[in-house]
Amino acid sequence: MDVLMLSRLQFAMATMFHFIFVPLTLGLSIMVAVMETMYVRTKKDIYLRMTKFWGKLFVINFVLGIVTGITLEFQFGTNWSRYSEYVGDIFGSLLAIEATVAFFMESTFLAAWIFGWKKLSPKMHAACIWIVAIASNISAVWIILANGWMQNPVGYVIRNGRAELDNFFEVITNPFAWGQFFHNGFAAFMVASFFVMGVSAYHLLRKNEVEFFSKSFKMGLIVAFIFSILVAAQGHHHAQTVAKMQPEKLAAMEALWDDHPDGAPMYLLAIPDEKNEKNSVEFLGLPGALSFLAFNDFDAPVKGLKSWPKEERPPVTITFLAFRIMVGLGTLFPLLALWGWKNRKKLTENKLYLRIMLFSIPLPYIAIWAGWAVAEVGRQPWIVYGMMKTSDAVSPIATSQVAFSFIALTTLYTLLGACEIYLLARFARRGPEPEKA
């Protein structure tokens, strides 16, 4: 393996591991903030206990998000130095702004929240978790603006042998990036709501703290209900943006090889065969369906992968499968939420549903990983779409260096991941502190 492949694997591994923790942070921070606000307003002990229990799980999750985030910032310089030099003028400034406007706030006020139960007034304490929640989401805005710029570079000129900023406003209003931000943000609520429902289901199945976990479950259910619909609707909208701005990604998402000047079909089942530039199996084609979904018109022309030279096509199988996993799960979520909604009055009686929800905790994580795989793998061979190839971006470093760091980081992350799951599971199972007498 060469430096390029190792660097790509390392970046993918580090990003995906980081992204286990981030979406739960984004969604759960807001849910905990709502719980604490309800406590401040009503003074009911149950809301305080909810805040403490879910807050504890939130904090256990948060710390790994932080420490693994540093890796990501460092990696642009260590492994992608040619990229950093070429686009730092724009990309680097977005990361630097993220740190100054959001990350400081997030880290400082989370510490104030964790350690401030006795030192701060209840209102001030609740304000701290709101600041954490808002800052986390602002942080996501800047990070996704940076990624969105790699997907759809805007507001730049090529000057002095690099991409230089020309219009900051265009960079921060990049429609592609905002589409990604909302899609991600809504998906983060899915992760958080399924986490809350799954953990609650575990306790409800055991009739443990029924009032506490029914309330928690219902809160998760409301969030899941709203955001499962939003994420699907907005996802459809974002896919249309992709169809317009990155047609070869769309073609890879659908494994569409040939041009369809008067309407492209969609296959319910297909197995891409990249070597022979066709699908080895195509089953149940709906005529014009892809054209309609992508362009609201059954007859709209759609370009196939063969329109691009081989070396400018994204890997088809991964993009195609990841897209199907994401969409499949995205269709399942509103159904699960609807089922729960119909059962909301007698949650404890429907054991099957509770069991399903317990085992559904990983599903939104898988969906969100698959979604990022579509976005990132589907952008290949470009690191910045249409501007710079990934193979031109890698650092001039020795293979042995990257092999060492890849093995070391993978080993470390595996151990940390195991500790994290163990601790989360232990504290989730233990349940809330007993009620005050």
Question: Residue 217 contacts by C-beta under 8 Å, 6 or more apart in sequence?
Answer: 196, 197, 200, 201, 204, 340, 347
Do 11 and 75 touch, CB atoms closer than 8 A?
yes
Q: Does 294 bind other proteins (CB under 8 A)?
A: no
Position among 165, 229, 338, 403 found at the interface with other proteins (CB under 8 A): 165
Position among 1, 5, 43, 115 found at the interface with other proteins (CB under 8 A): 115
For residues 152 and 207, give the distance between their C-alpha atoms in angstroms, rounded to a whole number. Answer: 51
What secondary structure, in 3-state letters, does 12-55 show? HHHHHHHHHHHHHHHHHHHHHHHHHHHHHHHCCHHHHHHHHHHH
In this structure, what is the dihedral angle of CA atoms 255, 258, 263, 267, given to the nearest 10 degrees? -30
**How is residue 336 written in tokens?**
């699960």
Position among 30, 34, 90, 327 found at the interface with other proteins (CB under 8 A): 90
Site for other proteins in 14-73 (CB under 8 A): 59-60, 63-64, 66-71, 73
Position among 32, 112, 188, 383 found at the interface with other proteins (CB under 8 A): 112
Write down the least CB distance from residue 172 to other proteins, Å.
Answer: 10
For residues 253 and 262, give the distance between their C-alpha atoms in angstroms, rounded to a whole number. Answer: 19
CA 252 to chain CA centroid, nearest Å: 20
Position among 284, 418, 419, 421 found at the interface with other proteins (CB under 8 A): 419
Q: Does 92 bind other proteins (CB under 8 A)?
A: yes
Q: Does 403 bind other proteins (CB under 8 A)?
A: no
Q: Work out the angle at residue 116's Cα, subtended by the Cα atoms of residues 112 and 121, and round it to the nearest 5 degrees.
A: 115
Identify which range of 102-110, 212-220, 282-290, 363-371 contacts other proteins by CB under 8 A.
102-110
Q: Does 104 bind other proteins (CB under 8 A)?
A: yes
For residues 167 and 34, give the distance between their C-alpha atoms in angstroms, rounded to a whole number. Answer: 38
CB of 93 or CB of 317, closer to other proteins: 93
CB of 335 or CB of 415, closer to other proteins: 415
What's the one-letter identity of residue 193?
Answer: S
- Tell me which DSSP letter residue 302 carries: B
Position among 13, 37, 162, 259 found at the interface with other proteins (CB under 8 A): 162
Q: Does 381 bind other proteins (CB under 8 A)?
A: no
CB of 105 or CB of 271, closer to other proteins: 105
DSSP 3-state of 436: coil
CB of 214 or CB of 410, closer to other proteins: 410
Residues that bind other proteins (CB under 8 A): 59-60, 63-64, 66-71, 73-74, 76-79, 81-82, 84-93, 95-101, 103-105, 107-112, 114-116, 119-120, 159, 162, 164-166, 168, 395-398, 401-402, 404-405, 408-409, 412, 416, 419, 423, 427
